[in-house]
Structure 1
Amino acid sequence: MTLGFDRRRLLTGGAAAAGLALAAPALLRHARAEGTGPIRIGFPVPLTGPFGAEANDQVRAAQIAVKEFNAAGGLGGRLAEILVRDDKLNPGEAATRTLELIEKDKVNVLVGGLSAAVTLSINNVARGRGVIYNSISQSDAITEAKDFGRTTFHEALSPHMTAGAVGRYVFPRHGKRVAFLTADYAYGHEMVRGFRRAGAAFGIEVVSDVRHPIGATDYSAFLPMIASLRPDVLCLCNFGRDQVVSVQQATEFGLKQSTKLVAPVLLLTARKAGGEAFEGVVGGTSYYWGLEETVPSARAFNDKFRAAYGGAVPSDYGALGYAGVRSVLEAAKLAGSVETDRLVPALEALRADFYKGPQYFRTCDHQSVQSVLIVESKFRNQRTPDDLFSIVHAEAPDEAGLRSCAELGHRQG
């Protein structure tokens, strides 16, 4: 394709101009993709708000992926840069920032998100403008046909994968009477659905599903009612500060004496903030730095993070920031381009072990197929201050843990 045109001349001239005006966005995207300037990666995440600790760790880890890429010479000498924007955990704000990244900042690809609702908002804008978006937020809906587009990729685990793996581990070991304390938005709802589906195979009895708003600070209205139902397992389907506060208050209330506390996503940042209250809590995660004892790529990633950030170890969601950016940059090397029509099949063909073992994107829905770790929090007998979890089980990468392509509404797969 010849790109040596003046756009203003292309947009003049009667009926021909009207047709060319429709084609102009595609031409501009192609010119941007094949240019000599930096590869620009838009990175909208909630830097402020209850998920801020996780989002800032995503940024730190993503910067490592860019540094690696640039140190290796980039794409034929073309280097990458990250444009970070605060989506404030708000779908409307996320849509505005994403549109600015595409139209004003001329990003080549998008990576980011840390809320099931917000990630759909980002994806909707990106999909409508033909820009690749690699989501690093847990979401079931993003891979369903109604929200999916050919430029949509999902680097994170899905709630179906995470809650399913945790449920299959917990229910046979800790009992069938199950209560839920659920953040009242898409993430919480999808986690409950995943637990219920996994639990059906074990005959679980759901004794309650109590909903709370994001940012709740007082769970005293909920805990006595839950305790009165005598559940064997309480699944805390919330995130960030919500998880910290609810675990602390459930522990103070004495629920642990008769009930196993379970979090579908057990966060390293939450465990650090919550301290002793998290003792014995079981949950799932896409990554824990302790994998380095058995997985060489985890050791390599951790060492880079430690070197960059004063000996700190990466969190689970931080690692997703690294993986999301690393995936699109490695695919760009395979494609020799960041043009969408070349980058999409390169991402579909990518087979990688970047930081946790093998993973790949399933073709029909672009969901990353990867391991799910089950971890148990510990407070005593820590070897180091970062020795916060024991990996008690790992589900290997397997499409059997995903909903089928047909169930999601896709014709292929």
Structure 2
Amino acid sequence: MIKATKVLGIIAVVIALVAAIGLTPTAVMAEKKPIKIGFIHTMSGPISMYGITSAAGAKIAVEEINAAGGVLGRKLELIVRDDKVNPEAGLREAKDLVLKEKVDFLAGTISSGVGMAISGYAKRAKKIYMINIAQSTRITEEKFNKYTFRFTTNGTPYFGKGPAIALAKTYKSKKIISLGYDYEAGKNALKEFKDTYLKMVPDAKIIDELWVPLGSTDFTAHIAKIANSGADAFYLASIYGGGELAFTKQAWSFGLYDKMKAVQPCAGDVETWGKVKQGDPYPKNALATCRYPFWAIKGEQNAKFVKQLREMTGLWPSYGSMDAYVIVYAIKAAVTKAGTTDTEKVIKAMETLKMDTFVGPVEMRAYDHQAMMPTWYGIMRFTPDLPFPHITDVGKLGAESYHTIDEIKKIRGE
């Protein structure tokens, strides 16, 4: 048996040799080629807060992983580009990242148009592309390719099926009137809402469907119809962003939120209402969905992430920031599992990925490469805890709010 003193002596010699030739873990990692992530997002313009916070979320994850020794002894490197919410610009940046920067992975995007363009290129370039915001179900359903993965919700749990489940769990309203933008996403959202809700509450009915041209901001005539319809609740079908802000101000002036229940998908996201103060118009008492209610999620890791992101950007953390953080850890998990950055092997590892994250367990569905990211819902109110309106009485939805595999097979005509 080797004596303890001799073992300690050997260890001391090894440490001295390592120090002498500079082989610290950091130095060894620096000598290997980094694993590059090309992160394409909207970094300028009126919705740049999505890109800024998303890039910050990815950066936090990269820094944590590198500080812990990297991935397979290699550090991660994040290269951020601006897509300007333009498919041509996004595609151009994707090509440059792959051909010039030699990135191992592509990630990011808020625009579904940009996402569709990059997804098609990822297929041609045989490069893994991971979405952190873009919501169009078509990217992973009708237009599916094996190189594209989504680590965020899609439109189904957020605009259609999810709000229907939330309403059935919360109010069980019997007479509902809908208002939506007259385009594909609005029509699909209402169809999914109706199909789901009427199965869960069979004695309910949609008493009227109101439609406005895409981009409309004057809803006054439709608000009057809603108020006089005799409905218990109204549902907004894919009206969001500037349209939702305009609708809310007009509905607030009309007193609509005091007359009936409101179902406003996406009203719970901080990006829309983070600058609204007490006394300003907001969707008061509306049932809303939310993709990252950081104020309602317990745990030190979530609190640390929120603090870091606030310090880094001065902004409230978006759901895109959380999704980007998860994407970087998904890359770490899949590459570690595959034992390589080889694209085909990483795809197989990522298809069966199960992760414990600070928002709960996340599982990748192999059939459509859609991660079962949670969606939360609740009632919009002000509380003393935050300076902006946010969802309270928070509930959580999971895989049940997404299309099933059988539903996707029908959509694909299989």
- State the 1:41 CA deviation: 1.4
Match of 2:74 in 1: 78
Aligned pairs for 1:12-411 within 5 A: 36-136=32-132, 137-144=134-141, 146-162=142-158, 163-171=160-168, 173=171, 175-183=173-181, 187-201=185-199, 202=201, 203-205=204-206, 207-214=208-215, 216-220=216-220, 222-236=222-236, 237-265=238-266, 266-275=268-277, 276-278=280-282, 279-293=284-298, 295=299, 297-306=301-310, 308-309=312-313, 313-379=316-382, 381-385=383-387, 388-395=390-397, 397-398=398-399, 400-409=400-409
Q: Which moved more, 1:349-358 or 1:156-165?
A: 156-165
Question: What amino acid maps onto 2:66 in structure 1?
Answer: N
Structure 1 length normalisation: TM-score? 0.79
Q: Report the 3-state secondary structure (helix = DSSP H, G, I; strand = E; otherwise coil) of the residue aligned with 1:148.
A: coil
Contact 2:269 2:292 in 1 (8 A): no
Seen in structure 2, the aligned counterparts of structure 1 residues 62 and 176 have a Cα distance that, compared at 3 Å, is farther
Which secondary structure state, in structure 1, belongs to the residue aligned with residue 295 of structure 2?
helix
Q: 2:210, 2:222 within 8 Å by CA — same for their partners in 1?
A: no
Native 8 Å contact 2:42 2:84 kept in 1:
yes
Equivalent pair of 1:191/1:264 in contact (CA under 8 Å): no
Other structure's SS at 2:143 match? coil
CA distance in 1, matches of 2:217, 2:59: 33
User: How far apart are residue 148 of structure 1 and its match?
Assistant: 0.9
In the alignment, structure 1 segments of 5+ residues that lack a partner are: 1-34
Q: Tell me the distance in 1 between the aligned counterparts of 2:186 and 2:40.
A: 21
Tell me the CA shift for residue 123 of structure 1: 1.1
Q: Is the 8 A contact 2:161 2:402 kept in 1?
A: no
After superposition, the C-alpha distances for 1:119-142 in whole angstroms (9 at most, x for unaligned) are: 222211212221111112222212
Tell which deviates more after alignment, 59-68 or 382-391. 382-391
Asked if the contact 2:380–2:389 (Cα under 8 Å) also holds between the matched residues in 1, the reply is no
Q: Equivalents in 1 of 2:37, 2:182: separation in Å?
A: 31
Contact 1:174-1:232 within 8 A present in 2 as well: no
Q: Is the 2:217–2:243 Cα contact (8 Å) retained in structure 1?
A: yes
Per the alignment, in what secondary structure is the counterpart of residue 89 of structure 1? Answer: coil
Cα 1:193–1:154 change in 2 (3 A) is farther
Q: Is the 8 A contact 2:251 2:257 kept in 1?
A: yes
CA distance in 2, matches of 1:168, 1:259: 19
Amino acid at match of 1:76: L
Q: Is the 1:285–1:373 contact (alpha carbons within 8 Å) kept by the matching residues of 2?
A: yes
C-alpha contact (below 8 Å) 2:276/2:388 kept by paired residues: no
How many residues get paired? 370
SS in 1 for 2:130: strand
Whose radius of gyration is greater, 1 or 2? 2
- The letter for the 2-side match of 1:249 is Q
CA distance, structure 1, for counterparts of residue 180 and residue 115 of structure 2 = 19
Q: Is the 8 A contact 1:291 1:298 kept in 2?
A: no
Alpha-carbon displacement from aligned partner over 1:345-386 (angstroms, at most 9, x marks no partner): 22123211222010110111111123321122212x322436
Quote the offset at 1:297 in angstroms: 4.4
- Is there any run of 5+ residues in structure 2 with no aligned partner, and where? 1-30
User: 2:376 and 2:297 mapped to 1: Cα distance?
Assistant: 13
Contact 1:123/1:152, CA 8 A, preserved across alignment? yes
TM-score between both structures, scaled by the size of structure 2: 0.79
3-state SS of paired residue (1:149): coil
Structure 2 residue matching 1:264: 3-state secondary structure: coil
Query: How far apart are the structure 1 equivalents of 2:271 and 2:195?
Result: 28
What is the alpha-carbon distance in structure 2 between the residues aligned to residue 281 and residue 378 of structure 1? 8
Query: Does the 8 A contact of 1:113 with 1:122 survive in 2?
Result: no
Secondary structure (helix, strand or coil) at the match of 1:358 reads strand
User: Are the counterparts in 1 of residues 38 and 78 from structure 2 also a CA contact under 8 Å?
Assistant: yes
Alpha-carbon separation, structure 1, partners of 2:42 and 2:388: 24
- Measured after TM superposition, the shift of residue 153 of structure 1 is 0.9
